[in-house]
Structure 1
Amino acid sequence: MTSLANLKAFREALAGADDVSASQFKFLNLDELAERYGERWPKVKARIFETCETFIKKRIGPRDLMLRAGNGFLVLPSPDRGESAPALAERIERELKVFFLGTDYLKELALETGTMPMSISGLIDAADSTALDTAAKEYEKAGPQTVASRPGVPAFDLFYQPVWASASGHIALRCAMPLLDLRRQPDRVFHRVLPGTHRPEDLLKFDIAVLARVSAHAADCLDRGRSCLLAVPVSFETLTVARLRVIYAARLAELPDRLKQVLALRILNAPADAPSTRYAEVTRLASLFFRRVFFDIDFRQARCDRFFEGRLDGFVISAPRDCEALQRDMNALIRFQSGAAHLRAAIAMDDCTSLPVVEESIKLGVNLFQGSIFPKPARFPQPPEKYDPFASRPHAAEQH
């Protein structure tokens, strides 16, 4: 049970050492899971270990050693690895926990990591075993992992759309909006045109680029003494596809704590009919790193009861074009607002172009608003920012 590609070279490299540090991964809930699954447990346990072993193999090098134990795994970094055993353990533990969120039978599997010294003599004895040597040869047959090439991120501009809170009369936060100058579609939000024409890996790379830009801007705001809450947009797909989620979560874990205090996450492109478990895993992951979590959704089709297991602060919905459209969607909006109230989730209305629609929506319980009728965003806002969209009534002539 090893991912060591060259046992001989590994043994020779360790010949002059006394001991080394290894990363130990323990699964603490195996006994509880055995009771829950009963007669099915042997098959489930085998699947757990096979899944985790495959996952860990992809994250260690060809000269690292991995041994499978009764309650977890032991990973020994090769002598030429720049990463220490504790650092390796911390990274793989974080990535495993993120991966568990998307796998039903792993969700409640407790994991604990640590480092431990190993004697070289005992390790070499184990490495000389027939079973270990056979496993190493099987690993060598598989060959090295190929890394797919990543396309470049298209150039984009970033501005911060203010979100007005009707209850307080202040700008509550600012949503980062990445814009592209696309042929035939100038100044469109990238997340709305990318899916369907690009690969998921493209979207991940763009989401990471947006995160980096917004994080840098948040740091700049803090340095100027202007700590306004900023919402980072990310695609639903980036947080649900395991191979993408792990990479994105690793970037989130690298953010300084001071930035996490002023950043929120806005999840885009979510289907209205996704399973409740999918919504739960996405919002729980987001809440690990962000102060607030918002979810873009189509209120006409969404079912709020599917979010009861999740952890979110609010929904973002698209504003009806005018009061006539609002009347057509009135029943759906009332039903959606009732569901959001049970979740104690705010409702933010995006793309607002009509003040009468804003007025009517406030009566229906919508809390937050953003769109072209609100002031142009300041690059470095000075909170708290008081604002009254009805003071000048620029759209007073609009017909109800």
Structure 2
Amino acid sequence: MPKSEFYQTVPEVTGEQGARKQSFYDSYSRQKLDPSDPAVFRNSLLDFVRSNKLVADALIAGNVQMLGFSEVRKSFGERWPSIKDKILLLAETVIKKNTGPADAFLMVNEEQIVILFGGGDKEKATRSSEKIAREINEKLSGVSGIKEGLVTCRALVLELDPKTPIEALTTPEGLSQTVDAAQRKEEDVERQHFEALRSELHVSYWPMANIRKKLISAYSASVILPIWKASGEEQTHTGVFNCELDCYMLTQAGEALMRAGRQRRALLIVPVHFDTLATKPLRQQFIAACQLLPRLSSKRILLEIVDLAEGVPQGRLHTLLSFVGPFFAGFVARQPLSFRTPERFVGLKMMAVAADGSHVGTPARDDVERMQGFAKACGKARMRSIFYGASTFEAATAARRCNYDYLQGAAVAPAVADPGRVYLLK
């Protein structure tokens, strides 16, 4: 068929249908802001601000940070530009997939992407940003040559100050600086909230019973927060509050270990949030706290990873844990009772997997089945299983019958002010 005849068979889209089609693709192409043309960039930002000021009191921005580029740039040499472009294209594809025509984004540089969410719905923006970060992190594991965990995507949703002059947003540098200032403000607020309650914090240590050996051979550190913290008044968005809390507990645990003297010391389990290890600035702060630990910590302290999502690749976990590995005797992963894949922790110096059973009072049949499945899976992977929060005699008995290696909770032994030595249970 001649080319001209083929094109004659394609109907021409006109009228209202054509207008709808053109309007959709125009809005989709306007998602990515082009910083190469200052006039076009300025007009696009002004259009976005005008349209969103009508539906929101403050502009909602997502700060997507590709952390760790500086750590891998030197290893690629002349190949770095192609690797960088591959990662940024990956990030752009994910962002376009999870944003709508009313949103806009700017590739500020290789380590920062700013997303402007239309509509002023912060909860929806938060869900989209978390999904973007999660998908980028999953896809980064497939980029050739980059060790898993060295480049990490982090997304924060921020409200830009309504008093910010519009002109401050009409250049790429101004927009980036405004978003950075909003993030620093939230980080400072979280840091101030932590400092305000530091004097009210109380760290206690729960004895852990080794069922088979009939010993109190470990203690788990736990922090008691004021009631207003538990009520939700304080929420951590940037991770700074949790990082400050992690560093505080680690410091307290190190001091408690020294107070125990030269007696036969038990193991001490100290929790840390996964984001504290996964986010470079927070990880650096935590490592600084690790460097102040007594040398004995490398033999007596186990670091417990909490808030660890099931989809984190094993390679990424290995990289992140290697940063702090020399300071500790090993690691513990806290997982839900439904967890059944401990084999992904093999080779990570993971000594045990812990489950929080504080919600289990008098165990129902479903509770017992989940408890049994958890302990059995750990046993197959040759990892110790820990049952936390046994608050009733019935829960502790059920955990013992399910063959957990360690039990902890009010029904086992009360919390103490300092971790002690190993005790024989009679």
TM bucket by the smaller chain?
0.5 to 0.7
**Equivalents in 2 of 1:26, 1:266: separation in Å?**
26
Q: Which residue of 2 aligns with 1:211?
A: 250
Cα displacement (A) at 1:370? 0.5
Residue deviations 1:297-355, cap 9 Å, x none? Answer: 10214532432353301111122624542x21344333333332233211110110233
Q: Which residue of 1 aligns with 2:413?
A: 375
Q: Which residue of 2 aligns with 1:161?
A: 206
The answer for unaligned runs of 5 or more in structure 1 is: 1-24, 49-53, 56-100, 111-141, 187-192, 389-400
**Equivalents in 2 of 1:170, 1:194: separation in Å?**
40
Q: Does 1:361 align with 2:399?
A: yes
- Say if 1:194 and 1:253 are closer, same or farther in 2 by CA, change over 3 A: farther
Q: Which residue of 2 aligns with 1:295?
A: 333
Q: Does 1:315 align with 2:353?
A: yes
- Say if 1:303 and 1:259 are closer, same or farther in 2 by CA, change over 3 A: closer
Answer yes or no: is the 8 Å Cα contact 2:342–2:353 preserved in 1. no
User: For the aligned residues, what is the CA RMSD?
Assistant: 4.2
Cα displacement (A) at 1:245? 1.4
Match of 1:107 among 126, 147, 159: 147
Match of 1:199 among 225, 238, 252: 238
Query: Which structure shows the bigger proportion of residues in helix conformation?
Result: 2
**Equivalents in 2 of 1:346, 1:300: separation in Å?**
16
- Say if 1:168 and 1:194 are closer, same or farther in 2 by CA, change over 3 A: farther
Match of 2:217 among 142, 166, 172: 172
**Equivalents in 1 of 2:354, 2:281: separation in Å?**
27
Residue deviations 1:233-255, cap 9 Å, x none? Answer: 21121111222112212321332
Cα displacement (A) at 1:292? 2.8
Cα displacement (A) at 1:40? 7.1
Match of 2:387 among 349, 362, 368: 349
Matched to 1:333, the amino acid is M
Residue deviations 1:18-69, cap 9 Å, x none? Answer: xxxxxxx999x96xx89xxxx9787239999xxxxx99xxxxxxxxxxxxxx
Residue deviations 1:69-105, cap 9 Å, x none? Answer: xxxxxxxxxxxxxxxxxxxxxxxxxxxxxxxx9x984
Answer yes or no: is the 8 Å Cα contact 2:246–2:272 preserved in 1. yes
Matches of residues 1-400 of structure 1 in structure 2 within 5 Å?
Answer: 43-44=82-83, 105-107=145-147, 149=188, 150-151=191-192, 152-153=194-195, 154=197, 155-183=200-228, 185=230, 196-222=235-261, 225=263, 227-319=265-357, 321-325=360-364, 327-380=365-418, 382-388=420-426
**Equivalents in 2 of 1:362, 1:253: separation in Å?**
38
Residue deviations 1:200-230, cap 9 Å, x none? Answer: 11111121111111111111113x6453322
Answer yes or no: is the 8 Å Cα contact 2:340–2:373 preserved in 1. no
Answer yes or no: is the 8 Å Cα contact 2:356–2:389 preserved in 1. yes
Matched to 1:370, the amino acid is Q
Cα displacement (A) at 1:271? 2.5
TM-score by length of 2: 0.53
Cα displacement (A) at 1:232? 1.4
The answer for unaligned runs of 5 or more in structure 2 is: 1-69, 88-109, 112-140, 151-175
Number of residue pairs matched by the alignment: 270
- Secondary structure at 1:257 match in 2: coil
**Equivalents in 1 of 2:255, 2:342: separation in Å?**
34
Matched to 2:147, the amino acid is K
Residue deviations 1:364-389, cap 9 Å, x none? Answer: 2210000011233444555221225x
- Secondary structure at 1:208 match in 2: helix
Answer yes or no: is the 8 Å Cα contact 1:221–1:228 preserved in 2. no
